[in-house]
Amino acid sequence: MEDASGAGPTPDIPEDQLQPHRSGLESQFHSKLGEARGSMLILLDDAAAEDHIAPLIPPDGRHRLLATARTAPADPAVTVLPLDSLTPEDSVALLESATATSVPKAPLAETAALCGHLPLALHVVAGRLRDSTDSADRVLASLRPPGERLAELGPVRRAFTASYTAPAKGAARMLRVW
């Protein structure tokens, strides 16, 4: 199994060895896809460049790749679906749907705003609301920035940080690729 972020068994690969290592991982990835029973959905979040996406496109029609990126790939075989942040009303509705009990709209609206109305950040927080014993107020308090607001990734970073630092039944798991 290899951590897609590079923080797995070999996090510090010298520059001159990076390409052979990457090629080996790509081959291993495609081999695992070939061995898979049924179809798979591969999720690639925040791809920095088109060359991060292209090697992971499944070679046959059995599997699908869903990637998020800040720039649209030029590959004509790639379908681009531009996404925007949700409206404040839709953000609150998403959070409301995750809570088992009735929660006042004010803390949910502030939570949604702190998540930048970004769908990914909202889903992370919604999962925490759904799966934990924390109240909406406690989740909100964990999202409030302790000092300066983070740069453009602040809303997503806060949502992930709050989720991973919350008391949990088990250790937080890293998303991993073979």
Nearest to 97 by CA among 84, 85, 108: 108
Q: How many other C-beta atoms are found inside a 10 Å radius of the C-beta of residue 66?
A: 10
Q: What is the pLDDT of residue 37?
A: 87
User: Among 27, 57, 81, where does a domain finish?
Assistant: 81
pLDDT digits (tens, 9 = 90+) for 42-99: 888 778 788 888 888 888 888 988 888 878 888 787 788 887 889 999 999 999 888 7
Whether 20 and 56 map to the same domain: the answer is yes
Q: How many other C-beta atoms are found inside a 10 Å radius of the C-beta of residue 46?
A: 12
pLDDT at residue 153 is higher than 70: no
Domain that residue 113 falls in: 88-165
Whether 64 and 130 map to the same domain: the answer is no
Flag whether 172 is in a domain. no
pTM over 0.85, yes/no: no
Which structure tokens are listed for 56?
Answer: 């992971």
Strand-pairing partners, residue 41, are 64
Whether 52 and 112 map to the same domain: the answer is no
pLDDT at residue 39 is higher than 80: yes
Q: Structurally, how many domains does the chain consist of?
A: 2
Whether 17 and 2 map to the same domain: the answer is yes
**What span, in angstroms and rounded, lies between the C-alpha atoms of 122 and 115?**
6
R_g (Cα) of the chain, nearest Å? 19
